[in-house]
């Protein structure tokens, strides 16, 4: 199953294609700003603003160590390192993502605060009680064995550490329209409703400290994305979602908007605390 998920996300020559597109866009690769990368590295629902807003609900110690689980090409990790002065380790199953994340982080001169490695969240290579927080952003819909992932998050968090969720969950109505960013077809999409997921977290020892159903805001955001996409369709080899999602980029804004509007999916924001050891 992990090999199918990896294949979905991996894109041949991703780093080289991003580098070429940045040069074509007139960007200085030796001195990139985070805003220069916004067309490609903040492709989750709500973009960079959603990530920063979510962390306003979290109290972290100075120089906190954060795991970005399913980090993609490192956009959120770099954002947290820059804006919140966190130290971040990003892990992702897709080796092409990790290669691109390392390259872009060097270009933005954040390599001392954000590091990346290819790993599975089902078997994280970290000691117990290592991290102050885990960011789980648009990841769990690709994880069939959610119980093992949650146990790993619990294990590597320090006592009192926070699990920060920004996740797509299963809605109540129509079936999902594919493709979506995490899956071209149903075989690698493992959505669950929030009540089932929350029960899983609580059984492991997490306590919900903050919860918000952000579905309405997500629907509005994707409505804007769809409008922009219709006016300016993704173009091959240009700096934009097409570099990461390929031909599927042409459909993602429209499909996500329809899925949110139809209540096929929901968006959940939550902060959970590691309250006690098992």
Residue 13 Ramachandran class (φ > 0 left, ψ -120 to 50 alpha, else beta): left
Mean pLDDT of the chain: 93
**Averaged pLDDT for residues 231-259:** 83
183 CB-side CA count, 13 A:
20
Closest CA to 215 of 45, 44, 42, 43: 45
The pair of structure tokens assigned to 143 is: 């994880």
Burial zone of 175 (CB within 10 Å; 0-12 exposed, 13-18 middle, 19+ buried) = exposed
Q: Give the predicted TM-score (pTM) of the model.
A: 0.95
Q: What pLDDT does 221 receive?
A: 92
Q: How far apart, in whole angstroms, are the C-alpha atoms of residue 191 and residue 262?
A: 15
The pair of structure tokens assigned to 45 is: 């629902």
**Domain ranges (residues) in the chain:** 2-274
The residues, any chain, with a CB within 8 Å of residue 170's CB and separated by 6 or more, are: 191, 192, 193, 265, 266
Q: What does the pLDDT look like over 97-117, one tens digit per residue?
A: 999 999 999 999 999 999 999
Distance of CA 218 to the CA centre of its chain: 15
Q: What does the pLDDT look like over 185-208, one tens digit per residue?
A: 999 999 999 999 999 999 999 999
Q: What pLDDT does 234 receive?
A: 64
Q: Which CATH number fits domain 2-274: 3.40.50.1980, 3.40.50.720, 3.40.50.150, 3.40.1440.10?
A: 3.40.50.150
Q: How far apart, in whole angstroms, are the C-alpha atoms of residue 271 and residue 210?
A: 5
Helix (H, G, I), strand (E, B) or coil at 91: strand
């Amino acid at each position: 199953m992990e090999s199918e998920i990896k294949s979905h996300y991996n894109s041949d020559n991703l780093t080289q294609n991003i580098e070429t597109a940045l040069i074509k866009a007139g960007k200085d690769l030796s001195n990139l700003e985070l805003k220069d990368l916004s067309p490609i590295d903040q492709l989750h629902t709500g973009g960079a603003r959603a990530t920063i807003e979510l962390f306003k609900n979290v109290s972290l110690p100075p120089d906190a160590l954060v795991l970005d689980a399913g980090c993609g090409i490192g956009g959120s990790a770099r954002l947290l390192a820059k804006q919140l002065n966190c130290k971040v380790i990003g892990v992702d199953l897709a080796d092409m993502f990790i290669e691109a994340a390392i390259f872009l982080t060097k270009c933005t001169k954040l390599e001392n605060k954000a590091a990346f490695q290819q790993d599975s969240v089902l078997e994280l290579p970290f000691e117990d009680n290592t991290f102050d927080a885990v960011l789980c952003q648009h990841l769990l819909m690709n994880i069939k064995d959610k119980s093992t992932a949650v146990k790993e998050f619990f294990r590597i968090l320090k006592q009192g550490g926070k699990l920060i969720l920004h996740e797509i969950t299963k809605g109540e109505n129509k079936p999902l329209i594919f493709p979506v960013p995490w899956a071209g077809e149903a075989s690698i999409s493992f959505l669950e409703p929030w009540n089932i997921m929350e029960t899983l977290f609580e059984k492991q020892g997490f306590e919900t400290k903050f919860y918000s159903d952000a579905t309405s805001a997500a629907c509005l955001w994707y409505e804007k994305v769809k409008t922009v996409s219709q006016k300016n369709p993704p173009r091959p080899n240009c700096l934009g979602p097409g570099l990461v999602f390929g031909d599927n980029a042409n459909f993602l804004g429209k499909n996500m908007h329809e899925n949110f509007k139809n209540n096929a999916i929901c968006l959940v924001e939550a902060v959970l605390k590691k309250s006690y050891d098992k």
